[in-house]
Structure 1
Amino acid sequence: MRWVSNAYLQFLQGQGSGIKMLLEFTKEMPKQATRLTIDFSSLIGPLFFEWVVALLFPVMLTYLVYEKQHKLRTMMKMHGLGNGPYWIIYYAYFLILSTVYLVLFVIFGALIGLNFFKTNDYGIQFVFFFSFINLQIVLSFLAATFFSKVNTAQAIAYLYIFGSGLMAGSLIRNFLEGGKFPRHWITVLEIIPAFSLYRGLYELSQYAIRASETGNPGIQWSDLNDHTNGMRDVMIIIIVEWLVLLPVAYYFDYAASVGNSSGLLSIIKRLLRKNPTWRRIAVNEVADNDVHVEMEKLDIIKERETVDQVLQQRNSGYAVVCDDLKKVYHGKDGNPDKYAVRGLSLALPYGECLGILGPNGAGKSSFISMMIGFSKPTSGNAFVQDFSIHTDMENIYNSMGVCPQNDMLWEMLTGREHLQFYGRLKSLSGSALDLAVEESLRSVNLLLGGAADKQVRKYSGGMKRRLSIAISLIGDAKVVYMDEPSTGLDPASRKSLWTAVKQAKQDRAIILTTHSMEEAEVLCDRLCIMVDGRLQCIGRPKELIARYGGYYVLTMTTSSEFEREVEDLALKLLPNARKVYHLSGTQKYELSKQQVRIADVFMAVENLKRRVEVQAWGLADTTMEDVFVKVATGAQSSDELS
């Protein structure tokens, strides 16, 4: 720089002028030091922090709807967990979870140096966040009553969080900073939880920005008296809204759980409906005029007379009484109504196991669903220990055990933890609980290989089934429902199950549906067969076999050219012998026990074997399976003719 300046002076004055510029160094003029003081966390904090706080809402909602979708809550209710304790337990759990989450959130923000948390009073932050998480928990319970699917609840919850956050961030900031929007209307907007949360976070951020600029502390308790400060109004709105919505959410949740329905319209209809009392419910919704009074169904008429006699006594001593129970699934899109159960009447005393047989679609599971509270009867009534399934399901649940057709289990809990949980619901504790759990696990073969301490998600289908059976029998349940309990079990586990059920039915009533005729004969004191929703017969296994199976079954296999000789043999033994099976040389004939002797059959077969080649033959007594096939086939044939 000095050389350039001297060269320029010589050019102007000439080489001999001797004028030079003495420039040794340059230096800036002294000034006060400055640094960037913009607090980005306070500028962008309200919207971002709102999303962080509100993310707890879909977590809690998902948990509640998951239990509802998989009927886990109903399962807990059926083992004695009432709505009040359920609410207290889960409310406390969500409150602890939310409090820990937000305390860590505030501590972390303060540790990394965010003025949003450091400058504002921690007491105000705690009251504001604590009040809002209580409101958020109540909103989760309230919203859960209107959802039945987890995926739907999650999608709508996240859309609500991000959408309402963006809307609140846009409207509240513009209305406050614009100054033209009336403040009382801003207060009205803050009734919406997302808007009140944003307004509180906005006030905290504004005080943090001022604190960073001036060096003064952020919002303090004394600042709440400032009329321009909206924090006090926000906290009042949140607390009042929480206190108002708490009983409303509980009421809607209770109404939905009692009726097992999540629709608002269904809840309103149910609340307006008159409560049925101890009498036969007269509902004319079911037009079932197919009344069959046949001689072979005198057992059903007798059972109905027993029910009528029992209903006239207040303390009947019967465990279960079903009075003309009906269930209709109304058709949609032009489809006809489906009559699942048609006027079923039963009376079941203590110490008895009643087996319900029937083909698929006969109405067995629909009947069980009504009895355990999964669905409401269309008409009729049923009483469990003198409590009506219409009005007293809460009392019924306290003394009921259920093994549903589909396993209702927590994937993350172990088998032992399931039994410990349900055992406590049955008032077991201490050594009595430990003993009951061990006995239950042993009875269903879940102690081998450490299966009892594995998570249920690692169980096979058969192991889950065995655990469901153990849950239904643990404790002192007086009435137990088992819907196809042996499905998917191996022979050894099935035998263990039968032993456990035989021991359990000593002082309780058991209703069991099954497709296994062997299981029905081994376990059940009485059997009834349902076809197309209607009871076809009822009685002890030997009585049914004697009534519907008073015949021998002669089975013979020969080559095709000798089939005529076999037929002649059967007709010679009994002219009215009925052929029930014929395929590729194998024939089956029914021979009345009263008209034929076993010795005559053996003699006739020996004579036939001297003339023709008999590949195989056998004479069998009637089995329960034969009775089932005969009754089911006859009932379906009569329905088709009618």
Structure 2
Amino acid sequence: MAAFPVLVCALLFVMQTVVDSELGRAPFRCGCVWWECGIQHSTLLQAPSCGVRTPQRWPALVQVPDAEARALTRRHTRPCNASENCPATVLLTGRNRQLAQGLGKGLFPPVPVESYLVPHASDSWDYFDMFSRVALGSSSLPAHGLFLEPALAPNETLYVLQPQCLWHSTSISGISDGIPLQYDIQCVQALPLWCDNSSLVNHLLFSGYKGGKSSRSNEFLAGYDFLDTSMRRLHVYIWYNSTFSQDNEDDSMTVVRVARLVNMASMAYLKRLLGTDAEMNLEYLKEMPKPETRMKLDLTTILDALFFTWIVQLLLPVTLTFLVYEKEQKLILMMKMHGLKNAPYWLITYAYFLFLSAAYLMLFVIFGSLIGLDIFRLNSYGVQFVFYFIYMNLQIVLAFLLASFFSSVKTATVMCYIYVFGSGLLGDTLFVYFIEDTTFPKHWLVTMGLVPGFSLYRGIYYLAGYAYAGRNMGKPGMQWVDLNDPLNGMKDVLVLMSIEWIILLPVAFLLDQWPTWHPLYLFTFLSVKHSSLPGNKVNGASKTISIDIPMSDAILEHEFVKQLLEQMDTRSMIICHSLKKVYPGKNGNPDKIAVRGLSLALPKGQCFGMLGPSGSGKTSFINMMTGLVRPTYGTAYIDGMDLRNDMGEIYPSIGVCPQHDLLWETLTGREHLMFYGRMKNLTGAALTKAVEESLKSVNLFHSGFGDKSVSKYSGGMKRRLSVAIALIGNPKVVYMDEPSTGLDPTSRSSLWNVIKRAKKDRTIILTTHSMEEAEELCDRVGIFIEGSFHCLGTPTELKARYGGTRTLTIATKPEHTAKVEELVSQLSPGVTRIYSVSGTQKFTLPRQEVVLSDVLSAVYAARRVFPVLGWGLADTTLEDVFVRVAKEAQVLD
């Protein structure tokens, strides 16, 4: 991820090299003919790269509408035919109509036809000097500069605007300023059209532009408003067409042909004032001298601030996805259950992403400078460091803040990318105009800058602007002293982002740690009705808390726990005293009691099995024991430490194997064990040895899967790794929630051996739905139903207590079914047939009423009378005990 800017810079460098190479080819170099190179041999595309020591004098021209677009009358009723020499209309208005119309007629001085038709004796005749005395025009588009006049290129036609055309067209040839000339010149009648006011002029010009048949010009040559012009004062407004092409986005840079329009008005007024012999000639226009250059396209200028804003903000989805992933996969809970506290988690995660962001942006700045990106190379590196450092911290805090509102990685990723690209596009299309508008209220800029993406865009915009100015003016870019410039908003950006960072940091931490501070939670709290928790004071009186202990086994265990606590006997590794968990009801529903006053004492070296149906409260009990939820009432002591107050000291002594595998898909099994081993204070050789032994114990070492990512593990391998994580570091207490789920018989048997070895020097609480697993592993078993124990004891004791029957199965031919039933019923009146299918019958025999020898005698007697295909006698299983206790619990409820 940190190397991504390097790839971007490398891509930009390659693209810039390719562009520079293409621009260095002949179509873009200064034009040459044989040994001579110069602007006179260049095309419009080549001319800007030519060196011009003595710029050419180009005649000032008028932009003449195309013939098919010219307006003929005020109402424009008759369209102009392109083959006709249609007149070019000039709109006139002014307060003094007579004077204005007289000046309008003088805009186009008549030229005798002989001036063009009579050949001149010398090729040195200065046609450009002659062009300065007439109203000369062209319909060709003007260029961006005056290095080469497009109207004087070959095959172009020049127009001479006359009051009356006494001649139609002619051609001229010669040399002017050393440039050979050969042009077609056409006479175009200029038709002054009077308008009553300037509004009408404006309306006609706009209507003509909207309805023009050509995108290169509108219907009118120009418009003149002589206002209050008199014989003592010239005051004139001039309308002209600057929208030469609707398809050309660069027309705003075009040199507009306005000079000749101004000169025509000045010349007409001067002749009116001093006589027809007076002249004020506009001889030529030309550029300043320039050296030879190469055409260059700077990609950074094209990319603009938007590109750099997107590149920097791409770290936000990475950070947010990481945080939400750990929350969605419950990896944070797993780390907390193994002892990681909130503050270290925040500190480590924050430092990690700060380091990643710093490496990301440092590489971007370094490699951007190496390939010549001016936004990095010209601006002060100190200013850039402070700006990016503050924004990096703000972006990390923003990710922590947003992570509190998402529980799905996909949703968080989509919404974050919408924010990244949306804030960049809004900044480039909307926010930039507010920045450039000096009249826009500053406080609104600050308000909009509260969105971190806008603040980032604004800062990069200023850096790009100073780099652009520095490149064109040969000055350094933004320096520290420039922050005091009133037009430079970088100081405001730095202050605003710093304040946001400082404020959002504790807010994000509180939202992450205390969900009751969450604004959405507060809204829910105000909108629903909650039932009061037991123990809360209502109207000044404290409600008593009831502890439900319904069964004799639970009563005996409760008394035993009380005795241990009274004697301060802490030899038991786990002592639970009246643990109760109540979840408050919402919307008028009653409270949900998950655990009802559980009391339990477990010594070292014992594996205790919790059996119970789904939803009975087993997971809530484990969550209380691991510190994920706080008990509503009661407490527990683990190795003498109180669950309510000493959880920080308890965590290094416990291990947890959750019901669902909580693993990082990108880490290997070895890396998981190394991580959790360090959390159990293992280091150095001891850590390496513990990891090796753990991998071997769960059969992940020799297969080589210990060094493969967890994403390549099967479900059974992930389960074995979860058990290894729970046992790493020799914890004194281990909680295992259905550890063998999803394992094949061979892997399950191997895992049972691991748990058997592990329980010799530690206490294990195991929940399972497998009665076979409970009988194999558990020294004591408790059947947990509706939040409380209904029976406690060893598997043998429970089978003896609740298993008052034996099961007899006999298989014969179907015709002997009645005889078998009669023979078995003689053993005891309490015999019950469970089922009979195709000669196979199953009976339950009361243990107290039927002696085992009588059963054997009855089977041998039956075999003498008819064939017995098979028979079997089985004692009560733990599964039978569980079913019986569960049914009794339902009857009691």
Q: TM-score, normalised by structure 1?
A: 0.85
Q: 1:33 aligns with which of 290, 293, 299?
A: 290
- 1:60-139 matches, cutoff 5 A: 60-139=319-398
Runs of 5+ consecutive residues of structure 1 not aligned to the other structure: 1-7, 270-279
Question: CA–CA distance in 2 between the matches of 1:505 and 1:372?
Answer: 19
1: distance between equivalents of 2:735 and 2:875? 32
Q: What residue in structure 1 maps to residue 767 of structure 2?
A: 513
Amino acid across the alignment from 1:27: I
Paired AA for residue 33 in structure 1: K
Counterpart of 2:422?
163
- The answer for the alignment partner of 1:320 in structure 2 is 574
Matched residues in 2 for 1:146 and 1:78: separation? Answer: 23
What amino acid does structure 2 have at the position aligned with 1:200? G
- Measured against aligned partners, the alpha-carbon deviations of 1:164-198 in whole angstroms (never above 9, x if no partner) come to 33344455422332222232442344333223212
- 2:870 alignment partner in structure 1: 616
Instruction: Name 1:402's counterpart in structure 2.
Output: 656
Q: Does 1:265 align with 2:521?
A: yes
* Alignment pair present for 1:450 and 2:704: yes
**How far 1:549 moved relative to its partner?**
1.7
- For 2:123 and 2:740, locate their aligned partners in 1 and report how far apart those are by CA, in whole Å: 110
Instruction: Identify which of 825, 830, 848 aligns with 1:594.
Output: 848
What residue number does 1:52 align with?
311
Aligned with 2:844: secondary structure? strand
Structure 2 residue aligned with 1:482: 736
Report SS of the residue matched to 2:573.
strand
Matched to 1:265, the amino acid is Y
What is the match of residue 368 of structure 1?
A: 622
Q: Which moved more, 1:104-113 or 1:119-128?
A: 104-113
SS of the aligned residue for 2:368 comes to helix
- With over 3 angstroms needed to count, the CA separation of the structure-2 counterparts of 1:485 and 1:386, relative to structure 1, is same
Report the residue type matching 2:856 in the other structure.
F
Q: How big is the shift at 1:483?
A: 0.9
Bigger RCO (CA 8 Å, 6+ sep): 1
Residue type matched to 2:784 in 1? M
Give a deviation string over 1:204-249, Cα, whole Å, max 9, x none.
Answer: 1221222133221111112122233221232222233323333333
Report the equivalent of 1:236: 495
Please state whether the residue corresponding to 2:179 is helix, strand or coil.
Answer: coil
Larger helix share, 1 or 2: 1
Is the Cα contact below 8 Å between 1:78 and 1:398 reproduced in 2? no
Q: Distance in 2 between matches of 1:440 and 1:61?
A: 33
Q: How far apart are the structure 2 equivalents of 1:497 and 1:192?
A: 53
- The answer for the alignment partner of 2:69 in structure 1 is none
Match of 2:480 among 221, 229, 236: 221
Does the Cα contact within 8 Å between 1:556 and 1:616 map onto a contact in 2? yes
Partner of 1:178 in structure 2? Answer: 437
Change (3 A) 1:187 1:31: closer
- Compared with structure 1, are the counterparts of its residues 290 and 176 closer, same or farther at alpha carbon in structure 2 (3 Å cutoff)? closer
3-state SS, counterpart of residue 791 of structure 2: strand
Pairwise CA distance, 1:512? 0.4
Percent identical among aligned pairs is 53
Aligned 8 A contact 1:252 1:267 in 2: no
Structure 1 SS opposite 2:798? helix
Kept in 1: contact 2:534–2:545 (CA 8 A): no
Shift in CA distance, 43/125, structure 1 to aligned 2, threshold 3 Å: farther
CA distance in 2, matches of 1:115, 1:379: 66
**Counterpart position of 1:572:** 826
> Would you say the 8 A contact 1:314–1:386 is kept in 2?
no
- Between 549-558 and 72-81, report the one with greater CA deviation: 549-558
In the alignment, is the contact (CA less than 8 A) between 2:401 and 2:508 conserved in 1?
Answer: yes
Contact 2:805–2:844 (8 Å) recurs in 1: yes
Distance 1:611 1:218, change over 3 A: same
Q: CA RMSD in A?
A: 3.6
**3-state secondary structure, aligned to 1:449:** coil
Say if 1:609 and 1:115 are closer, same or farther in 2 by CA, change over 3 A.
Answer: same
- Cα drift, residue 54 of structure 1: 1.3
Matches within 5 A, 1:301-320: 301-310=555-564, 316-320=570-574
1:37–1:213 CA contact under 8 A, matched in 2: no
Aligned position for 2:405: 146
Q: CA deviation at 1:123?
A: 1.7
Structure 2 partner of 1:5: none
Q: In the TM superposition, what is the alpha-carbon distance from 1:101 to its structure 2 partner?
A: 1.2
Residue 517 of structure 1 deviates from its aligned partner by 2.3
Distance verdict in 2 for CA 1:396–1:578, change over 3 Å = farther
Q: Are 1:434 and 2:691 an aligned pair?
A: no
2:548/2:596 contact within 8 Å kept: no
Q: Is the 8 A contact 1:39 1:115 kept in 2?
A: no
Q: 1:199 aligns with which of 452, 458, 467?
A: 458
Q: Which has the larger Rg? A: 2
Shift of 1:125: 0.9
Contact residue 375 and residue 463 of structure 2 kept, 8 A: yes
Deviations 1:19-74 (A, max 9, x none): 68586895389962276789673575223222221111111010011011101121
Question: Structure 1 residues 68, 569: closer, same or farther in 2, change over 3 A?
Answer: same
| Letter in structure 1 aligned against 2:422 | G
Q: Aligned in 2, Cα 1:491/1:56: closer, same or farther, shift over 3 Å? A: same
Mapping of 1:260-299 within 5 angstroms? 265=521, 282=535, 293=550, 297-299=551-553
Tell me whether 1:412 sits opposite 2:669 in the alignment: no
Shift of 1:375: 5.2
Moved more, 330-339 or 575-584: 330-339
- The alpha-carbon distance between structure 1 residues 554 and 148, as it changes in their structure 2 partners (threshold 3 A), is same
Post-superposition Cα deviations, 1:504-537, rounded to whole Å, max 9, x if no partner, equal 2233221101222232122211101123444221
User: Is the partner of 1:502 in helix, strand or coil?
Assistant: helix
- Corresponding letter in the other structure for 1:513: T
Query: Within the alignment, does 1:460 sit opposite 2:737 as a pair?
Result: no
Give, in angstroms, the shift of residue 476 of structure 1. 2.9
Q: 1:252 aligns with which of 511, 520, 530?
A: 511
Using structure 2 for the length normalisation, give the TM-score: 0.62
Unaligned runs of 5+ in 2: 1-112, 125-173, 181-285, 526-532
Post-superposition offset of 1:373 = 4.5
Letter in 2 for 1:608: A
**Structure 1 CA distance for aligned equivalents of residues 693 and 344 of structure 2:** 28
Moved more, 601-610 or 59-68: 601-610
